[in-house]
Structure 1
Amino acid sequence: HSRLEGLTGVCARLFQRTSEPFMPLPGKFSGAGVGLSTTATSLLFKLSRKMTQEEFLIELHRLCGQWHQKPYDFVHLPWAKLAVVNFISHEACASFFNMVKALAGLPGIGLTDVREALHQGLAANLGHFCAKCRQMSVYENAPLVFVDGATVPLALACQILVDSQLHAARSEPGARKQDFEAWAGYGSKCGLSGWGVGVKGSALVIEL
């Protein structure tokens, strides 16, 4: 309980900080001084161990508190010890970035680093997944997509948000929960290629 209370106190103090603009710097995932751009909504997380999406989300909420409405709409673990998350706003993204930066790597913490992602936004991350990941696979390997905090079928999310004609015809930028009703879909298998990260030895490295 004392450790959790301490983490909660750190998170509360970070929430009260006035956010300052950051500029992302190229280089290693763990590079010192790496910050966040002023419009970023997507982050890469380096994990201390292999996790499922559900285990990863539990770890995020353990560090940063519980939400009645999820502050993210895309979660994907395309590679062992790597997670990609798109948040519903830059403010939510920046809060997570600052909190994880402060706590990452401490004993008992399942996240070891965080970095701005190569692809930004729900549609961009889904588009990359649909373009690169074609093989059918088990559910654990597929991205999780949320609308209004509820999980929606991946196949329909890709159809509505990625298909250029449907996407261009929409008057609003995001999907609505009712757009996804009465549909079912399956996930796809994906590798590390194209997420802006490479492997050098046993380390994840940001591609320049």
Structure 2
Amino acid sequence: MTARTLNRAPAAIALLAAGLAALATPARAELYWDFAYSGTGVSASGILITQDVPDGSGYYLATGILGQRNGSTITGLQPTGTAIPLNDPFEVDNLVRADGRLSSHGLGFATASGEYANLFRASWLSPARTVEFASRPALNRTTEEVVSWQFSARTEPLPAVPEPASAALLLAGVALVGTMAARRRAG
């Protein structure tokens, strides 16, 4: 074994240990909810990800969303405290209760097709209903539709997937250790 190989060994071991530690780090606590809604000309479904503890009013803050709306992939939540395009000044708060009740500000999200949606509880309707305000900024078009909203807790969490950076770090460490071992056998 050469001095050069010996100098690389601690770095390789440290890199490998860092990758393993990153993969073993527990994920933040989250809850997963199935959602679906439909109305005239609109159909959406997917998974809503929220913090695991509700606020004092029983609302959970949504932190992520996966799914499709009218066949287009949902790409992410509208940032809390902002309005979806063409819906100023109505800012979303991304709050939902375990019973499925949305707040009057509701959830906002974007789709891959360039559309945005804001689902909210219209408490001024009798009876109160869930409404979707949708916009397509490229066409300067908006729609508003009462929808049938279903919401329930998932019985199984999403499968664990390591962060890409953690997985890359682990693979780099394994490759370095493998390279060192091959050179040791050859030398």
Normalising by structure 2, report the TM-score.
0.24
Q: Radius of gyration: which is bigger?
A: 2
Normalising by structure 1, report the TM-score.
0.22
Which one has the bigger strand percentage? 2
